[in-house]
Amino acid sequence: MKQRVEVWAPATVANMNVGFDALGCALSTPGERMILNRTAHQGEVLIRSIHGAELDANSERNVASIAAKSLLQSLGDPCGLELELFKSILPGSGIGSSAASAAAAVVGVNELLNAGLSPEELIPFALDGESNASGARHADNVAPALLGGLVICPPEGPPIAIPPLEDWCLVVLHPHVPIKTSDARAVLPEHVALQDAAAQAAWFATFVAACHSGNGKAAAHALEDLLVGPHRSILIPYYDEVRKLAFSHGARAGGISGSGPSTFWVALDSSDAGRIERALSGFMQRNSVPCSVHISAISGRGAHSIS
Ligand code: HSE
């Protein structure tokens, strides 16, 4: 019987311009760790420690403990748990901080109790935790955090994995100016023009077709954001300047990651990705905006045990 497991979970980019609340991918970096310890207090889930971020350690409100408790309960509360969180994906970053916590927690419980649930089966339990942070129950971060790769979250039914683009190098710029998902949703219109909705659906379909044919260039070309980005870009520090700079240094596409403030920029080789990374870091530094910049591939692996 395992007493302790350690889990890694990836950051994720949701929406990806074409699939608002319906598309996401797992990043190879950054990611974060969680340790789950078994205790004798059946059904009790406590947070032992949180490193790297100021987060609520009350287990009734913490994303990780809520997700862990939901799964533990469905497995009959055979034990209790103490969680240690090592946050390297900052809350409010737009790269799936709460989804990573929720995914790590359910993968950890599954592993600790040898429950044998598939990543797909873990999604509802992770969502019980994640929705507590985001205020909405959409799986566009949680599903790729659990499954890895590129994932479509249809309005009904299970998530659909699509072939990840192996030639994509993503540059993710995270300005350290937290944005709450609820605030980023509040700026969105309730209604959109039929013409825009139709064009957006066509771009999403084109993107998926390009992924299936392994054409990273065509997939990047399809990443038009007609419905969401134009309303949210005002929330992102220097969005227009960053976009211009990324494109002039080799980006083929890009936009807002999830609800921001992070943005993602698609390069088709690592030397372009390096040029974009240096240009964006330098620009943010000159404008005194603290930030992190990551160069990442789409990770084929979701949250998993590293014990
Ligand atoms: N899709 C969500 C949004 C963010 O853009 O508001 C991530 O779940």
- Summarize pLDDT for 36-47 with one digit per residue, the tens: 999 999 999 999
Q: How many CB atoms lie within 10 A of CB 116?
A: 8
Atom number, ligand 1, closest to the C-alpha of residue 14: 7
Q: Is the same domain home to 157 and 259? A: no
Residue 131: per-residue pLDDT: 86
139 lines ligand 1 (CB under 6 A): no
Q: Is the same domain home to 144 and 219? A: no
Question: What residues contact residue 217 under an 8 Å CB cut-off, 6+ apart?
Answer: 252, 268
Residue 83: per-residue pLDDT: 98
Q: Is residue 302 part of a domain?
A: no
Q: Is residue 104 part of a domain?
A: yes
132 lines ligand 1 (CB under 6 A): no
Q: Is the same domain home to 138 and 67? A: yes
Q: Is the same domain home to 37 and 83? A: yes
Residue 202: per-residue pLDDT: 98
> What DSSP assignment string belongs to the chain?
--SEEEEEEEEEEESTTT-TTTEEEEEEEEEEEEEEEEESSTT-EEEEEEESS-----TTT-HHHHHHHHHHHHTT--SEEEEEEE--S-TTSSS-HHHHHHHHHHHHHHHHTT----HHHHHHHHHHHHHHHHSS---TTHHHHHH-SEEE--SSSS-EEE---TT-EEEEEEES----HHHHHHTS-S---HHHHHHHHHHHHHHHHHHHTT-HHHHHHT---SSSHHHHGGGSTTHHHHHHHHHHTT-SEEEE-TTSS-EEEEESSHHHHHHHHHHHHHHHHHTT--EEEEEEPBPS--SEE--
14 lines ligand 1 (CB under 6 A): yes
Q: Whose alpha carbon is nearest atom 3 of ligand 1?
A: 259
Residue 148: per-residue pLDDT: 98
Q: Is the same domain home to 171 and 157? A: no
Q: Is the same domain home to 20 and 126? A: yes
- How many domains, in total, are found in the chain? 2
Last residue of a domain, one of 161, 196, 221: 161
Percent of the chain with pLDDT over 70: 100
Residues of the chain with pLDDT under 70: none
Q: Is residue 303 part of a domain?
A: no
185 lines ligand 1 (CB under 6 A): yes
21, 101, 153, best to mutate for ligand 1 pocket (most atoms within 8 Å of CB): 21
Q: Is residue 304 part of a domain?
A: no
Which residue range is the domain that position 65 belongs to? Answer: 4-161
Q: Is residue 272 part of a domain?
A: yes
Q: What is the CATH number of the domain that holds 289?
A: 3.30.70.890
Atom number, ligand 1, closest to the C-alpha of residue 21: 1
Q: Is residue 102 part of a domain?
A: yes
Q: Which residues of 205-220 are buried (b: 16+ CB within 10 A; e: fewer)?
A: ebbbebbeeeebeebb
Last residue of a domain, one of 161, 180, 211: 161
Residue 133: per-residue pLDDT: 74
Residue 168: per-residue pLDDT: 97
Q: Is the same domain home to 223 and 273? A: yes
Residue 57: per-residue pLDDT: 87
Last residue of a domain, one of 122, 142, 161: 161
Residue 217: per-residue pLDDT: 97
Q: Is the same domain home to 203 and 156? A: no
24 lines ligand 1 (CB under 6 A): no
Q: Is residue 307 part of a domain?
A: no
Q: Is the same domain home to 176 and 268? A: yes
Q: What is the CATH number of the domain that holds 30?
A: 3.30.230.10
Inter-residue contact 129 to 56 (CB < 8 Å): no
Q: Is residue 57 part of a domain?
A: yes
Q: Is the same domain home to 62 and 203? A: no
Q: Is the same domain home to 82 and 197? A: no
Residue 137: per-residue pLDDT: 85
For residue 203, give the amino acid letter: W
